[in-house]
Chain A
Amino acid sequence: NAGVTQTPKFQVLKTGQSMTLQCAQDMNHNSMYWYRQDPGMGLRLIYYSASEGTTDKGEVPNGYNVSRLNKREFSLRLESAAPSQTSVYFCASSDQGQGYEQYFGPGTRLTVT
């Protein structure tokens, strides 16, 4: 049981390049999330998927797109990376049981130069 996995762990992009961050969970959770965390800050929600087949914007969705590929996988795409998107990206999942406890992945550290 790996929990929530993310790939890659580290990535450096040049301004204008595109890339996709991958996230998968093996806990059969309905809901999945993408957050970003800038240095010294809390987490900010980018997008979430309440259930398979649905996605919704969070607090900071501009510059990102998401795909809920199936129940297990939720990807985050940067179409044209900008230096302001330099951050650590965390994927999380949860189910709709008591408390809605979220399980987080280890994060992807992205640098855009």
Chain B
Amino acid sequence: DAKTTQPNSMESNEEEPVHLPCNHSTISGTDYIHWYRQLPSQGPEYVIHGLTSNVNNRMASLAIAEDRKSSTLILHRATLRDAAVYYCILRDLNTGGFKTIFGAGTRLFVKA
């Protein structure tokens, strides 16, 4: 499965928008882009996923570049509870997406 590249850490102020970038230059046509986050001392939790079009849900928005080689997770108003490690991963559903690679992710710090 293809790999992704994310910044090690980012910082945001509370109640401001946050844009978390992810590069995936070797993405294939059947790779779905998934985002998960991991709060301290917890297991990862699903945030959002998409294939080609931008996606919105109650937690976040996902903006996908036209060439699909990068994407951005958007938290519209960061709260202290959003401080977590955010993982951008690719899942190739043609092969079942079982061997997903989780990198080190981006640690998001939120300042009050």
Contact = CB atoms under 8 A, between A and B. Distances in A.
B43 A105 contact: yes
B34 A106 contact: no
**Central interface residue in B43, B45, B93, B99, by most chain A CB within 10 Å:** B43
Contacts of A33: 98
A79 B1 CA distance: 29
B99 A58 contact: yes
Interface in B51-77: none
Contact of B43 (A31, A92, A96, A99): A92
Nearest to B98: A48
Contacts of A50: 96, 98
B100 interface: yes
Interface residues of B, number: 23
Contact of A101 (B46, B98, B102, B103): B46
A90 interface: yes
A42 B105 contact: yes
Contacts of A56: 98
Interface in B69-112: 87, 91, 93, 96-105
Given A106-B43, A107-B43, A42 B104 contact: yes
A53 interface: no
Contact of B44 (A40, A43, A48, A96): A43
Nearest to B49: A99
Interface of B: 32, 34, 36, 41-46, 49, 87, 91, 93, 96-105
Given A48-B99, A59-B99, A104-B45, 8 more contacts: A31-B96, A41-B104, A90-B43, A100-B97, A102-B44, A105-B43, A106-B42, A107-B42
